């Protein structure tokens, strides 16, 4: 049986990809950013997932104002890097997992989430930058270390999905993955954000207090986050802060209780707050042990009481 073992939240700032592609990672400005993902790459190398589901938003590469799916699932065998105006990024073609993707589509649609099934799609920095941050730099003739199932979410054109809808989609994806017969370990990414606004009078807005509270609740109280309305994201985190709802798909696909393995936060990177978190499903064995402990204490107390009576 397949299972989702962990979730990764990561910003997908395009300038991060440009810094990587142009060998600027050791410059003081960018080294501060990339150093925050060193432990994450070590974690990914140790975890070695069989598949990754990457939740991201397309930036007018695969879709446009002519076609705006709310949720689009990539079911193809491969996804080439998109040309975002200055040529495709020099990264490997993303290999898909059509069998698992088709299974997720069937399960989720029958659970009444209307996905758009995409059998041909190019992927942009929204997906490739987080892969770089967690897997390191890859040349075009190399391969990513695992196949990827892209899930593109509309957070560009109004109306985007609510945080609650995203969270519940994550739960439906969890159910779908767990009903897939192959023995696969899956990691799910939630990308985008954190707080930023790229245009208008508030361009450059960053709200660190809001971002850190979001990360706190992502671990401890995700249901609280599902109640945040769109207007609050835009007011507190900037117009592009709405991307944060995609992290709730990742969180919904995990167990209710998670262990926060790692967190990184820095500002700014190209006028954006860079956020990152790794969550693993809480170890069930330790939870059962914790529940048994009080029973042992009660039994010991009962034995002591009996010994006292006998004496």
Q: Which residues are catalytic?
A: 125, 196
Residues 6 or more apart whose CB falls under 8 angstroms from that of 224 comprise 217
Residue pair 171/252 in contact by the 8 Å Cβ criterion: yes
Burial (CB < 10 A; 0-12, 13-18, 19+), residue 238, is: buried
Cis peptide before 140 (omega within 30 of 0): no
- Residues written for the chain: 311
Residue pair 17/137 in contact by the 8 Å Cβ criterion: no
Residue pair 117/105 in contact by the 8 Å Cβ criterion: yes
Residues 6 or more apart whose CB falls under 8 angstroms from that of 94 comprise 78, 79, 80, 81, 123, 127, 128, 131, 144, 148, 150
Q: What is the largest CA-CA distance in the chain?
A: 88
């Amino acid at each position: 049986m397949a299972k989702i073992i962990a979730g990764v939240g990561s910003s997908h700032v395009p300038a991060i990809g440009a810094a990587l592609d142009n060998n600027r990672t050791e410059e003081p400005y960018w080294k501060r950013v990339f150093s925050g993902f060193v432990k994450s790459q070590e974690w990914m190398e140790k975890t070695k997932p069989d598949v990754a589901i990457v939740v991201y938003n397309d930036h007018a590469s695969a879709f446009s104002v002519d076609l705006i799916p709310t949720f689009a699932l990539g079911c193809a065998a491969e996804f080439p890097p998109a040309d975002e105006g200055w040529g495709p990024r020099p990264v490997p073609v993303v290999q898909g997992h059509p069998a698992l993707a088709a299974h997720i589509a069937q399960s989720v649609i029958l659970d009444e989430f209307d996905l758009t099934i995409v059998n041909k799609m190019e992927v942009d920095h929204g997906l490739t930058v987080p892969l770089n941050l967690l897997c390191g730099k890859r040349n075009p003739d190399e391969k990513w270390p695992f196949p990827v199932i892209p899930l593109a979410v509309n957070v560009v054109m109004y109306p985007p999905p609510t945080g609650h809808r995203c969270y519940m989609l994550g739960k439906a994806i969890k159910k779908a993955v767990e009903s897939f017969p192959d023995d696969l370990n899956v990691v799910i990414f939630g990308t985008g954000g954190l707080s930023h606004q790229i245009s208008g009078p508030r361009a450059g807005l960053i709200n660190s207090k809001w971002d850190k509270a979001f990360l706190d609740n992502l671990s401890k109280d995700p249901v609280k986050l599902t109640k945040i309305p769109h207007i609050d994201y835009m007011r507190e985190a900037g117009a592009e802060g709405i991307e944060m709802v995609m992290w709730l798909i990742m969180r919904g696909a995990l167990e209710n209780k998670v262990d926060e393995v790692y967190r990184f936060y820095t500002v700014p990177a190209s006028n954006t707050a860079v956020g990152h978190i790794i969550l693993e499903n809480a170890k069930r064995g330790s939870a059962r042990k914790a529940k048994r402990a009080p029973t042992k204490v009660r039994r010991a107390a009962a034995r002591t009481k009996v010994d006292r009576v006998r004496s």
